[in-house]
Amino acid sequence: MSSRLQNTLTHNPLHQSIWRMLHLDGILLCLLLLLAAVGLFILYSASDKSLHTIEMQSAHLLFAFFILFLFAQIPPITWQRWATSIYVAGGLLLIVVLIIGHVGKGAQRWLNLFGLHLQPAELMKLAIPLILAKYFHALPLPIKTRSILIALPIIFIPALLTAKQPDLGTAILIVTAGISVLFLAGLNFKLLGGTIVGVIASLPLVWYALHDYQRQRILTFLNPERDPLGTGYHIIQSKIAIGSGGLFGKGFLHGTQSTLHFLPEHTT
Protein backbone atom coordinates (compact mmCIF):
# COMPACT_ATOMS: atom_id res chain seq x y z
CA MET A 1 0.00 0.00 0.00
CA SER A 2 1.43 3.39 -0.99
CA SER A 3 2.33 6.00 1.61
CA ARG A 4 -0.05 8.45 -0.11
CA LEU A 5 -3.02 6.10 0.38
CA GLN A 6 -1.98 5.43 3.96
CA ASN A 7 -1.75 9.17 4.70
CA THR A 8 -5.13 9.73 3.04
CA LEU A 9 -6.78 7.08 5.18
CA THR A 10 -5.10 7.97 8.47
CA HIS A 11 -4.31 11.70 8.49
CA ASN A 12 -7.05 13.37 6.45
CA PRO A 13 -9.62 14.74 9.00
CA LEU A 14 -12.56 14.14 6.66
CA HIS A 15 -11.59 10.53 6.03
CA GLN A 16 -10.92 9.99 9.72
CA SER A 17 -14.41 11.18 10.60
CA ILE A 18 -15.98 8.96 7.90
CA TRP A 19 -14.16 5.84 9.09
CA ARG A 20 -14.97 6.70 12.70
CA MET A 21 -18.64 7.11 11.82
CA LEU A 22 -18.65 3.74 10.05
CA HIS A 23 -16.70 2.14 12.93
CA LEU A 24 -14.19 0.70 10.44
CA ASP A 25 -10.43 0.74 10.07
CA GLY A 26 -9.76 2.11 6.58
CA ILE A 27 -6.35 0.51 6.12
CA LEU A 28 -7.52 -2.87 7.39
CA LEU A 29 -10.59 -2.77 5.15
CA CYS A 30 -8.47 -1.93 2.09
CA LEU A 31 -6.15 -4.82 2.88
CA LEU A 32 -9.13 -7.17 3.20
CA LEU A 33 -10.52 -5.99 -0.14
CA LEU A 34 -7.11 -6.46 -1.76
CA LEU A 35 -6.83 -9.97 -0.32
CA ALA A 36 -10.34 -10.83 -1.55
CA ALA A 37 -9.52 -9.54 -5.04
CA VAL A 38 -6.32 -11.58 -5.22
CA GLY A 39 -8.29 -14.61 -4.06
CA LEU A 40 -10.81 -14.15 -6.88
CA PHE A 41 -8.02 -13.97 -9.47
CA ILE A 42 -6.45 -17.16 -8.09
CA LEU A 43 -9.84 -18.89 -8.02
CA TYR A 44 -10.50 -17.84 -11.62
CA SER A 45 -7.23 -19.46 -12.65
CA ALA A 46 -7.74 -22.60 -10.54
CA SER A 47 -11.33 -23.06 -11.78
CA ASP A 48 -10.26 -22.95 -15.44
CA LYS A 49 -12.04 -19.63 -16.10
CA SER A 50 -15.33 -20.67 -14.49
CA LEU A 51 -17.43 -17.50 -14.26
CA HIS A 52 -20.09 -19.32 -12.23
CA THR A 53 -17.52 -20.13 -9.54
CA ILE A 54 -16.37 -16.50 -9.44
CA GLU A 55 -19.96 -15.23 -9.24
CA MET A 56 -20.74 -17.55 -6.33
CA GLN A 57 -17.56 -16.61 -4.49
CA SER A 58 -18.22 -12.90 -5.10
CA ALA A 59 -21.72 -13.27 -3.67
CA HIS A 60 -20.31 -14.96 -0.58
CA LEU A 61 -17.72 -12.19 -0.19
CA LEU A 62 -20.36 -9.47 -0.48
CA PHE A 63 -22.45 -11.19 2.19
CA ALA A 64 -19.37 -11.59 4.40
CA PHE A 65 -18.46 -7.89 4.11
CA PHE A 66 -22.08 -6.98 4.88
CA ILE A 67 -21.95 -9.07 8.06
CA LEU A 68 -18.57 -7.50 8.89
CA PHE A 69 -20.11 -4.03 8.57
CA LEU A 70 -23.08 -4.97 10.78
CA PHE A 71 -20.85 -6.47 13.47
CA ALA A 72 -18.60 -3.40 13.37
CA GLN A 73 -21.56 -1.24 14.40
CA ILE A 74 -21.89 -3.16 17.69
CA PRO A 75 -19.90 -1.36 20.43
CA PRO A 76 -17.09 -3.41 22.06
CA ILE A 77 -18.77 -3.05 25.45
CA THR A 78 -21.82 -4.82 24.01
CA TRP A 79 -19.67 -7.71 22.78
CA GLN A 80 -18.18 -7.85 26.27
CA ARG A 81 -21.65 -8.15 27.80
CA TRP A 82 -22.71 -10.79 25.28
CA ALA A 83 -19.52 -12.89 25.54
CA THR A 84 -20.71 -15.20 28.32
CA SER A 85 -24.13 -15.76 26.74
CA ILE A 86 -22.60 -16.54 23.32
CA TYR A 87 -20.15 -18.99 24.89
CA VAL A 88 -22.82 -20.79 26.96
CA ALA A 89 -25.19 -20.96 23.98
CA GLY A 90 -22.44 -22.37 21.78
CA GLY A 91 -21.50 -24.96 24.40
CA LEU A 92 -25.10 -26.10 24.81
CA LEU A 93 -25.50 -26.39 21.04
CA LEU A 94 -22.35 -28.54 20.88
CA ILE A 95 -23.99 -30.93 23.35
CA VAL A 96 -27.30 -30.87 21.48
CA VAL A 97 -25.62 -31.64 18.15
CA LEU A 98 -24.10 -34.79 19.65
CA ILE A 99 -27.58 -35.96 20.62
CA ILE A 100 -29.85 -34.98 17.73
CA GLY A 101 -27.44 -33.55 15.18
CA HIS A 102 -27.57 -34.19 11.44
CA VAL A 103 -25.18 -36.92 10.30
CA GLY A 104 -23.29 -36.34 7.08
CA LYS A 105 -20.20 -38.07 5.66
CA GLY A 106 -19.64 -40.01 8.86
CA ALA A 107 -19.82 -37.01 11.18
CA GLN A 108 -22.56 -35.56 13.37
CA ARG A 109 -21.86 -31.84 13.05
CA TRP A 110 -25.01 -29.97 12.06
CA LEU A 111 -28.35 -28.93 13.48
CA ASN A 112 -31.30 -28.57 11.13
CA LEU A 113 -32.87 -25.16 11.77
CA PHE A 114 -35.70 -24.03 9.47
CA GLY A 115 -34.18 -25.94 6.58
CA LEU A 116 -30.67 -24.62 7.22
CA HIS A 117 -27.71 -26.60 8.52
CA LEU A 118 -26.18 -24.84 11.53
CA GLN A 119 -22.71 -25.92 12.68
CA PRO A 120 -22.34 -24.91 16.37
CA ALA A 121 -18.57 -25.43 16.29
CA GLU A 122 -18.29 -22.40 14.00
CA LEU A 123 -19.92 -20.25 16.69
CA MET A 124 -17.22 -21.28 19.16
CA LYS A 125 -14.53 -19.75 16.93
CA LEU A 126 -16.09 -16.40 17.84
CA ALA A 127 -17.23 -17.24 21.38
CA ILE A 128 -13.90 -18.42 22.78
CA PRO A 129 -11.85 -15.30 21.89
CA LEU A 130 -14.70 -13.13 23.23
CA ILE A 131 -15.04 -14.94 26.57
CA LEU A 132 -11.28 -15.10 27.08
CA ALA A 133 -10.87 -11.41 26.24
CA LYS A 134 -13.58 -10.59 28.78
CA TYR A 135 -11.93 -12.83 31.39
CA PHE A 136 -8.42 -11.40 30.99
CA HIS A 137 -9.70 -7.81 30.71
CA ALA A 138 -10.78 -7.98 34.36
CA LEU A 139 -7.40 -9.29 35.58
CA PRO A 140 -4.36 -7.20 36.55
CA LEU A 141 -1.13 -7.47 34.57
CA PRO A 142 1.02 -9.48 34.35
CA ILE A 143 -1.23 -12.50 33.89
CA LYS A 144 -0.51 -15.17 36.50
CA THR A 145 -0.08 -18.87 35.75
CA ARG A 146 -3.16 -19.67 37.84
CA SER A 147 -5.29 -17.47 35.59
CA ILE A 148 -3.94 -19.25 32.51
CA LEU A 149 -4.77 -22.65 34.00
CA ILE A 150 -8.33 -21.51 34.72
CA ALA A 151 -8.68 -20.43 31.09
CA LEU A 152 -7.58 -23.77 29.65
CA PRO A 153 -10.88 -25.63 30.33
CA ILE A 154 -12.72 -22.75 28.65
CA ILE A 155 -10.77 -23.63 25.50
CA PHE A 156 -10.49 -27.40 25.66
CA ILE A 157 -14.02 -28.40 26.72
CA PRO A 158 -15.61 -27.03 23.49
CA ALA A 159 -12.65 -28.39 21.52
CA LEU A 160 -13.18 -31.90 22.92
CA LEU A 161 -16.93 -31.72 22.22
CA THR A 162 -16.13 -30.70 18.65
CA ALA A 163 -13.59 -33.51 18.24
CA LYS A 164 -16.25 -35.93 19.49
CA GLN A 165 -18.52 -35.18 16.47
CA PRO A 166 -15.87 -36.00 15.00
CA ASP A 167 -14.43 -32.78 13.55
CA LEU A 168 -10.75 -32.72 14.43
CA GLY A 169 -9.92 -29.88 12.03
CA THR A 170 -12.38 -27.43 13.61
CA ALA A 171 -11.34 -28.57 17.09
CA ILE A 172 -7.73 -27.65 16.28
CA LEU A 173 -8.88 -24.23 15.01
CA ILE A 174 -10.81 -23.65 18.25
CA VAL A 175 -7.73 -24.46 20.32
CA THR A 176 -5.61 -22.22 18.10
CA ALA A 177 -8.04 -19.32 18.55
CA GLY A 178 -7.95 -19.74 22.31
CA ILE A 179 -4.17 -20.07 22.55
CA SER A 180 -3.80 -16.94 20.41
CA VAL A 181 -5.76 -14.95 23.00
CA LEU A 182 -3.61 -16.40 25.79
CA PHE A 183 -0.52 -15.29 23.90
CA LEU A 184 -1.90 -11.76 23.43
CA ALA A 185 -2.85 -11.64 27.12
CA GLY A 186 0.79 -12.18 28.10
CA LEU A 187 1.28 -15.94 28.23
CA ASN A 188 4.56 -16.76 29.96
CA PHE A 189 7.02 -18.25 27.47
CA LYS A 190 8.20 -20.82 30.01
CA LEU A 191 4.62 -21.96 30.49
CA LEU A 192 4.15 -22.00 26.73
CA GLY A 193 7.25 -24.16 26.34
CA GLY A 194 6.02 -26.51 29.05
CA THR A 195 2.64 -26.74 27.35
CA ILE A 196 4.28 -27.65 24.03
CA VAL A 197 6.39 -30.34 25.73
CA GLY A 198 3.25 -31.69 27.41
CA VAL A 199 1.38 -31.82 24.11
CA ILE A 200 4.26 -33.68 22.44
CA ALA A 201 4.44 -36.13 25.34
CA SER A 202 0.69 -36.80 25.08
CA LEU A 203 0.78 -37.59 21.34
CA PRO A 204 0.69 -41.40 21.91
CA LEU A 205 -2.52 -40.97 23.93
CA VAL A 206 -3.94 -38.64 21.30
CA TRP A 207 -3.15 -41.21 18.60
CA TYR A 208 -5.03 -43.87 20.56
CA ALA A 209 -8.05 -41.55 20.92
CA LEU A 210 -8.25 -40.73 17.21
CA HIS A 211 -10.88 -42.30 14.97
CA ASP A 212 -9.73 -44.77 12.34
CA TYR A 213 -10.33 -42.33 9.47
CA GLN A 214 -8.25 -39.69 11.27
CA ARG A 215 -5.35 -42.11 11.70
CA GLN A 216 -5.63 -43.05 8.03
CA ARG A 217 -5.45 -39.38 7.01
CA ILE A 218 -2.22 -38.91 8.97
CA LEU A 219 -0.68 -42.11 7.60
CA THR A 220 -1.70 -41.15 4.07
CA PHE A 221 -0.18 -37.70 4.50
CA LEU A 222 3.11 -39.23 5.62
CA ASN A 223 3.10 -41.93 2.92
CA PRO A 224 0.61 -41.18 0.10
CA GLU A 225 2.25 -43.79 -2.16
CA ARG A 226 0.63 -46.54 -0.09
CA ASP A 227 -2.63 -45.79 -1.96
CA PRO A 228 -1.70 -43.63 -4.98
CA LEU A 229 -5.06 -43.96 -6.79
CA GLY A 230 -7.20 -43.70 -3.66
CA THR A 231 -6.65 -41.75 -0.45
CA GLY A 232 -3.15 -40.67 -1.45
CA TYR A 233 -4.16 -39.27 -4.84
CA HIS A 234 -4.63 -35.64 -3.74
CA ILE A 235 -1.38 -35.56 -1.76
CA ILE A 236 0.58 -36.88 -4.74
CA GLN A 237 -1.05 -34.38 -7.10
CA SER A 238 -0.25 -31.54 -4.71
CA LYS A 239 3.40 -32.60 -4.67
CA ILE A 240 3.42 -32.67 -8.47
CA ALA A 241 1.83 -29.20 -8.57
CA ILE A 242 4.40 -27.76 -6.15
CA GLY A 243 7.27 -29.43 -7.97
CA SER A 244 6.19 -28.34 -11.45
CA GLY A 245 5.27 -24.81 -10.39
CA GLY A 246 8.34 -24.16 -8.30
CA LEU A 247 8.60 -21.18 -5.99
CA PHE A 248 6.56 -18.74 -8.12
CA GLY A 249 4.10 -21.11 -9.81
CA LYS A 250 3.42 -21.63 -13.51
CA GLY A 251 1.60 -18.35 -13.94
CA PHE A 252 -1.95 -17.08 -14.21
CA LEU A 253 -4.22 -19.59 -16.03
CA HIS A 254 -1.30 -22.01 -16.58
CA GLY A 255 -1.67 -24.42 -13.65
CA THR A 256 -1.55 -27.89 -15.20
CA GLN A 257 -2.96 -29.80 -12.23
CA SER A 258 -6.11 -27.65 -12.21
CA THR A 259 -6.67 -26.78 -15.88
CA LEU A 260 -6.06 -30.37 -17.04
CA HIS A 261 -8.49 -31.65 -14.37
CA PHE A 262 -6.12 -33.93 -12.50
CA LEU A 263 -7.89 -32.80 -9.31
CA PRO A 264 -11.66 -33.37 -8.96
CA GLU A 265 -12.04 -30.45 -6.48
CA HIS A 266 -9.38 -28.13 -7.83
CA THR A 267 -11.07 -24.94 -6.59
CA THR A 268 -10.93 -25.87 -2.90
pLDDT band at 36; cut points 50, 70, 90: very high
Asked if 223 and 141 sit in the same domain, the reply is: no
Q: With 80 as the cut, is the pLDDT of residue 222 above it?
A: yes
Hey, what amino acid is at 44?
Y
In this predicted model, what pLDDT tens digit does every residue of 223-233 receive, in sequence order? 888 888 887 88
Across the range 219-245, mean pLDDT stands at: 81
Separation of alpha carbons 145 and 178, rounded Å: 16
Query: 147 in a domain, yes or no?
Result: yes
Asked if 188 and 229 sit in the same domain, the reply is: no
Query: 20 in a domain, yes or no?
Result: yes
Q: Domain boundary at 24, 48, 73, which?
A: 73
Query: 118 in a domain, yes or no?
Result: yes
Query: 33 in a domain, yes or no?
Result: yes
Asked if 203 and 221 sit in the same domain, the reply is: no
Asked if 46 and 36 sit in the same domain, the reply is: yes
Across the range 65-93, mean pLDDT stands at: 91
pLDDT (0 to 100) of residue 8: 55
Asked if 23 and 128 sit in the same domain, the reply is: no
Asked if 89 and 200 sit in the same domain, the reply is: yes
Q: Domain boundary at 50, 73, 96, which?
A: 73
pLDDT (0 to 100) of residue 107: 59
Q: Residue 226 belongs to what domain range?
A: 216-259
Query: 266 in a domain, yes or no?
Result: no
Asked if 6 and 67 sit in the same domain, the reply is: yes
Q: With 80 as the cut, is the pLDDT of residue 258 above it?
A: no
Q: Domain boundary at 29, 47, 73, which?
A: 73
Q: With 60 as the cut, is the pLDDT of residue 3 above it?
A: no
Q: How many domains does the chain have?
A: 3
- Under a CB-based contact definition with an 8 Å cutoff, are residues 86 and 123 in contact? yes
Query: 244 in a domain, yes or no?
Result: yes
By C-alpha distance, which of 40, 3, 8, 13 is closest to 26?
Answer: 8
Query: 264 in a domain, yes or no?
Result: no
Rg of the chain's alpha carbons, rounded to an integer? 22
- Under a CB-based contact definition with an 8 Å cutoff, are residues 161 and 94 in contact? yes
226-240: b (≥16 Cβ within 10 Å) or e: eeeeebbbbbebeee
Q: With 70 as the cut, is the pLDDT of residue 1 above it?
A: no
Asked if 253 and 127 sit in the same domain, the reply is: no
pLDDT (0 to 100) of residue 20: 77
Asked if 142 and 175 sit in the same domain, the reply is: yes
Asked if 113 and 202 sit in the same domain, the reply is: yes
Give me the helix-helix angle, 76-100 and 120-137, nearest 10°: 140
Hey, what amino acid is at 151?
A
pLDDT (0 to 100) of residue 82: 93
Strand partners, 185: none
Query: 180 in a domain, yes or no?
Result: yes
| Torsions phi, psi for 106 (to 5 deg) | 80, 5
Asked if 197 and 90 sit in the same domain, the reply is: yes
Asked if 160 and 176 sit in the same domain, the reply is: yes
